[in-house]
């Protein structure tokens, strides 16, 4: 039933307001704030993400064009670009990071039953990072190389739900393997990662947490085979071996047995050597688990194409992190709406519809569930075809 609310207001009703206020209070977000609350800041940035605004001036112009509707959308005054810029610079980005994690916690159970393509009960995480290039003159705090700035998004993706579990934003100089020190590993879960994360001291922390990892061996990898297991070579498997490390420091940091699996992809004929501490799952499932790691690459590609995380409205570290976390929150919010309204459209399709309907006063379910128009085959046009 249409209650006269805009689509934007109906979308924001899916946001847990109480949890947002808790995040604001945790970091004293309203300390000495008389107007333009953290909620209005979130609404402004969420509007910019959903409508693909290019700049602060662009956000200000579009919101003022719908001034008569802003009060009922949650705004309590005019949105000025200077006020928004100051809020993004001064207010703690962790408010929005914590709130994004609240939404992630809501979204993951909704996607828990998604099909992986193979039967497996454990939670599977894909770990990787992506680099976003910046201008060193504008972002000197994000030093990457001598004449280049960049930030990295280190992401732990729940493969089953396609929802991020953890995102850590660092400067481009932080090596991927160092991020393993920041995680609390979930017992029984499986972590798929590229060989850039191969550090046996850190991988042993996963073993100590009763979790499992699947990764690729480096070219200079040294080991000693203890025994081999039979494999079906028609599936692309070449060998399945139980090994121990032979390098001095490698053996010192990881004294337990490992499992090495050689696999040739039937489609690309590319050869892989996998390492894992899981000695129970079939070898072919281990190969599929590493292939599932590609979902995090697709996630990076998707958010770079459809979210505002490559061009930033502010240049300070706090402003950049605020924008990134609000973009992630919007992405997860749309994923929640998709499941709760039982929508068949993709996230891309939903975002495209929202981008042009936020000011409309139509029930959101009606807006997002409209079917594509079907052409009537029985209709005969009166005008002749030009090329016939």
Which sequence spans correspond to the domains of the chain? 7-94+329-367, 195-286
Structure tokens at 364: 């959101």
Structure tokens at 140: 């000197």
Comparing CA positions, the residue from 269, 262, 223 lying closest to residue 246 is: 223
pLDDT given at position 1? 45
Comparing CA positions, the residue from 279, 285, 263 lying closest to residue 119 is: 285
Q: What is the DSSP letter of 346?
A: -
pLDDT given at position 4? 74
Q: How far, rounded to the nearest angstrom, does the alpha carbon of residue 146 sit from its chain's CA centroid?
A: 29
Phi, psi angle pair for 8, to nearest 5°: -60, -45
pTM: 0.84
E strands within 135-266?
143-145, 148-158, 163-171, 190-193, 212-216, 223-229, 237-245, 258-264
pLDDT given at position 118? 60
| Residues 140/316, Cβ–Cβ less than 8 Å | no
Beta-carbon neighbour count of residue 92 at 10 Å?
A: 19
Query: 310: exposed, middle or buried (C-beta count within 10 Å: 0-12, 13-18, 19+)?
Result: exposed
Using CA atoms, how far apart are residues 184 and 206, in angstroms rounded to an integer? 9
Beta-carbon neighbour count of residue 73 at 10 Å?
A: 20
Q: How far, rounded to the nearest angstrom, does the alpha carbon of residue 300 sit from its chain's CA centroid?
A: 7
β-bridge mates for residue 143, sequence order = 149
Low-confidence residues of the chain: pLDDT under 50:
1, 372-388
Q: What is the DSSP letter of 161?
A: T
| Residues 193/156, Cβ–Cβ less than 8 Å | no
Structure tokens at 19: 């949890």
CB-facing half-sphere around the CA of 17: CA atoms within 13 A:
8
In sequence order, what DSSP letters do the residues of 71-127 get, joined into one string?
A: GGGT--S---HHHHHHHHHHS-THHHHHHHHHHHHHHHHHTTT---SS---S-EEEE
């Amino acid at each position: 039933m249409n209650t006269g609310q805009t689509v934007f207001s109906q979308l924001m009703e899916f946001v847990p307001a109480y949890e947002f206020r808790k995040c604001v209070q945790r970091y004293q977000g309203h300390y000495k704030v008389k107007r333009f609350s953290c909620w209005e800041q979130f609404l402004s940035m969420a509007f910019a993400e959903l409508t693909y605004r290019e700049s602060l001036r662009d956000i200000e112009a579009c919101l003022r064009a719908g001034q008569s509707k802003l009060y009922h959308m949650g705004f309590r005054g005019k949105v000025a670009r200077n006020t928004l810029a100051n809020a993004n610079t001064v207010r703690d980005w962790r408010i929005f990071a914590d709130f994004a994690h609240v939404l992630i916690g809501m979204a993951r159970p909704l996607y828990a039953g998604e099909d992986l393509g193979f039967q497996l009960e454990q939670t599977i995480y894909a770990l990787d990072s992506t680099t976003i290039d910046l201008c060193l003159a504008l972002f000197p705090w994000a030093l990457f190389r001598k004449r280049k700035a960049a930030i990295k998004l280190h992401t732990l993706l729940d493969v089953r739900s396609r929802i991020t579990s953890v995102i850590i934003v660092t400067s481009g100089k932080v090596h991927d393997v160092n991020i393993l020190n920041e995680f609390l590993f979930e017992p029984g879960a499986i972590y798929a990662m590229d060989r850039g994360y191969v550090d046996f001291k850190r991988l042993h922390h996963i073993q100590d947490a009763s979790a499992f990892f699947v990764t690729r061996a480096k070219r200079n990898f040294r080991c000693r085979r203890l025994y081999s297991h039979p494999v079906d070579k028609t599936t692309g498997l070449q060998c399945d071996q139980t090994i121990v490390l032979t390098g001095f420091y490698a053996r010192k940091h990881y004294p337990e047995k490992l499992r090495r699996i050689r696999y040739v992809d039937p489609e690309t004929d590319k050869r892989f050597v996998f390492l894992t501490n899981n000695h129970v799952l079939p070898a072919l499932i281990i190969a599929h688990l590493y292939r599932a790691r590609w979902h995090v690459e697709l996630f990076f590609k998707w958010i770079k194409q459809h979210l505002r995380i490559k061009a930033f409205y502010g240049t300070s570290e706090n402003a950049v992190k605020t924008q990134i976390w609000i973009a992630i929150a919007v992405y997860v919010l749309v994923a929640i709406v998709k499941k709760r309204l039982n929508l068949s459209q993709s996230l891309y399709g939903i975002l495209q519809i929202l981008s042009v309907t936020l000011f409309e006063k139509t029930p959101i379910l009606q807006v997002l569930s409209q079917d594509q128009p079907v052409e009537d085959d029985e209709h005969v046009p009166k005008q002749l075809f030009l090329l016939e």
